[in-house]
C-alpha cells in the first residue's frame, strides 16, 4: 500500500493534488498543532473539505497534544484511519474504542526514539501501527534505518498471530529506501516528496509500489 503525504503537496491545490494520485491506497494527511511538534499544518476544516474532494481513503496522522479530545472529530469527518501518538495520548485504549465507534480505524504511532515492546499489549486495541522513520514535524527528512528493528518485531508478531495490525512507516520513504522497509515487513508506505516532488506523481507512486512489491516477494 502507498499513501502519498499531502504535506509535500501544494496546499493551494489540494483537490488537484489528490486527483493526481488517484491510484493511491490511502491519502496521508499530517495534522500538526505547533505544540506536540514544532510545525503547524492543517486541521479538521481542511480534512472535511478534502473528504468531499476525493474518494481516496484519508489516513489522518495527528501529531497533536490532547488527541483524547480531538481525534474523534476526524473519524466523524469521514477519515478511514486516524492515528494518534502514544507519547501524547492519556488513555490510548479509550481513544481506539471511540475512533472505532465513530466509524474509522484506529492507528497508534511511535516516534523513532520510543521503544516498541512496552506497547505491544496496547496494540491489541488498534488496527494500524505507524512507525516514524524521521522525527515528526517536517517533511523531506533523511530516513532513519535503525527504526526497522521495530518493524521486524511487529512483523513477527503479526505473522505469528499475536497482533492484528497493519504496519505503516512514515518518513524519508523514496526509491532508495522503500525496498529495505518492505523487506523488514512494512505493509503501508507513506511517501511525500518522493511522490509530490516528482514530475509525474502518478508514475512515481506506481514505481514505489512496484519496488515494494518486488522486495516483499
Give the catalytic positions in this structure.
30, 170
In the block, cell 481506539 appears at 96
DSSP lists the bridge partners of residue 3 as 190
108, β-bridge pairs: 84, 129
Where do runs of H (alpha helix) occur along the chain?
A: 14-19, 44-53, 67-76, 92-101, 148-159, 178-184, 193-196, 201-216
Question: Would you say the C-alpha torsion 21, 146, 68, 100 has a positive or negative sign?
Answer: positive
Residue 43 near residue 70 (C-beta atoms within 8 A): no
Q: Give, in order, the Cα–Cα distances in Å from 81 to each of 27, 59, 71, 113, 140.
A: 10, 5, 11, 24, 23
DSSP state of 162: S
Amino acid at each position: 500500500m502507498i499513501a502519498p503525504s499531502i504535506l509535500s503537496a501544494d496546499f493551494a491545490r489540494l483537490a488537484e493534488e489528490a486527483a493526481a494520485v488517484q491510484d493511491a491506497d490511502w491519502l496521508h494527511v499530517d495534522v500538526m498543532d505547533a505544540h506536540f511538534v514544532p510545525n503547524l499544518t492543517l486541521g479538521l476544516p481542511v480534512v472535511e473539505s478534502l473528504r468531499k474532494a476525493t474518494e481516496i481513503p484519508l489516513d489522518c496522522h495527528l501529531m497533536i497534544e490532547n488527541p483524547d479530545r480531538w481525534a474523534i472529530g476526524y473519524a466523524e469527518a469521514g477519515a478511514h484511519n486516524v492515528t494518534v501518538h502514544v507519547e501524547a495520548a492519556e488513555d490510548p485504549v479509550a481513544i481506539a474504542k471511540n475512533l472505532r465507534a465513530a466509524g474509522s480505524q484506529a492507528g497508534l504511532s511511535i516516534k523513532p526514539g520510543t521503544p516498541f515492546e512496552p506497547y505491544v499489549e496496547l496494540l491489541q486495541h488498534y488496527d494500524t501501527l505507524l512507525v516514524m522513520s524521521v522525527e515528526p514535524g517536517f517533511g523531506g527528512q533523511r530516513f532513519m534505518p535503525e527504526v526497522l528493528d521495530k518493524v521486524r518485531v511487529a512483523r513477527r508478531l503479526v505473522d505469528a498471530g499475536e497482533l492484528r495490525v497493519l504496519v505503516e512507516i512514515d518518513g524519508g520513504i523514496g526509491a532508495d529506501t522503500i525496498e529495505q522497509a518492505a523487506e523488514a515487513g512494512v505493509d503501508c508506505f507513506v511517501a511525500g516528496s518522493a511522490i509530490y516532488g516528482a514530475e509525474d506523481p502518478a508514475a512515481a507512486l506506481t514505481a514505489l509500489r512496484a519496488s515494494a512489491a518486488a522486495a516483499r516477494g
